[in-house]
């Protein structure tokens, strides 16, 4: 009988290939597509194990409820790709000239948008959109608790004691409405192109 971690790995293993094809010019860092896929598989399994630990902490009332596992794994894959892109760009920047024997060129395409989810630091950024933008002080904290999975009634009860004049339900509903208006931006994948030169060998 398979362990839960193995079942989740088999269910979401496709994410490794899905995100690997977003990355181009891997030869710059001496990796080919199969290397990237394998590294993403390893990262995927590590993320599943980490999610399992977070879920146990939630069940033991030690941590708030984590986001859905599929979203968690997709963010893990996206952040790994972002790390590869940074590494490729660093290596590419070392090329300061083009020789005369340029034979041809093609285009590499990737998604440059940044997604950073760090509940411990109240950071929720998806495709460069800060989900807490426009909120201040206690309102920001209220919506952060909502994103972490806390129930509205629990949030209301908490603030009824420390800041009774703050209507937490209104804060959450009003900001959700703003985010729904941006949903096309949050889900948007904009591509950026880079020239890749192929050199003739002597």
pLDDT digits (tens, 9 = 90+) for 41-75: 888 999 999 999 999 998 898 888 888 889 899 99
Are 79 and 162 contained in the same domain? no
User: Residue 168: how many CB atoms within 10 A of its CB?
Assistant: 24
Residue 121 per-residue DSSP state: G
Taking the C-alpha atoms of residue 192 and residue 108, their distance in angstroms, rounded to an integer, is 8
> Do 37 and 128 reside in the same domain of the chain?
no
pLDDT tens, position by position, 69-110:
898 999 999 888 888 888 888 776 654 344 444 444 444 444
Based on the domain organization, do 111 and 202 belong to the same domain? yes
Answer with the one of 96, 121, 153 that is the final residue of a domain: 96
Region 107-123: mean pLDDT is: 64
Domain shared by 77 and 127, yes or no? no
Containing structural domain, residue 26? 1-96
Q: In this structure, is residue 101 part of a structural domain?
A: no
Number of structural domains found in the chain: 2
pLDDT in tens, 140-186: 888 988 888 888 888 888 787 667 888 999 999 999 988 888 776 66
Q: Which of 6, 193, 11 is closest to 108 using CA atoms?
A: 193
Work out the pLDDT band at 124, boundaries 50, 70, 90. confident
- Residue 94: the pLDDT is 55
Whether residues 74 and 132 fall in one domain: no
pLDDT > 80? residue 40:
yes
d(CA 65, CA 42): 25
Cβ neighbours around 113 below 10 Å, total: 19
176 domain residue, yes or no: yes
Strand pairing partners for 117?
124
Asked which of 76, 96, 116 is the last residue of a domain, the reply is: 96
In a domain, 14, yes or no: yes
Does one domain contain both 39 and 115? no
Helices (H), 60-68: none
* Statement to judge: residues 201 and 110 lie in one domain: yes
Percent helix, strand, coil in the chain, to 5, is 55, 15, 30
Residues 90 and 115 in one domain: no
- Note whether 2 and 85 are same-domain residues: yes
pLDDT digits (tens, 9 = 90+) for 22-35: 887 777 778 888 88
Please identify, among 96, 118, 152, the residue that sits at the C-terminal boundary of a domain.
96
């Amino acid at each position: 009988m398979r362990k839960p971690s193995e079942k989740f790995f088999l269910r979401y293993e496709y994410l490794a290939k899905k995100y690997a094809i977003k990355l181009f010019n891997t030869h710059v860092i001496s990796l080919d597509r199969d290397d990237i896929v394998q590294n993403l598989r390893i990262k995927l399994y590590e993320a599943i194990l980490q999610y399992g630990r977070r879920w146990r902490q939630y069940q033991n009332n030690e941590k708030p409820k984590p986001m859905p596992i599929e979203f968690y794994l997709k963010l893990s894959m996206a952040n790994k790709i972002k790390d590869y892109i940074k590494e490729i760009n660093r290596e590419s920047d070392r090329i300061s000239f083009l020789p005369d024997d340029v034979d041809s060129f093609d285009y590499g395409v990737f998604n440059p948008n940044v997604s950073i989810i760090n509940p411990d630091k109240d950071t929720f950024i998806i495709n460069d959109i800060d989900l807490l933008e426009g909120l201040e002080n206690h309102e920001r904290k209220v919506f952060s608790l909502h994103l972490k999975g806390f129930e509205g009634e629990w949030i209301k009860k908490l603030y009824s004691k420390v800041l009774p004049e703050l209507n937490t339900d209104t804060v959450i509903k009003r900001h959700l409405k703003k985010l729904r208006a941006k949903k096309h931006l949050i889900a948007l994948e904009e591509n950026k192109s880079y020239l890749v030169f192929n050199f003739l060998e002597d």
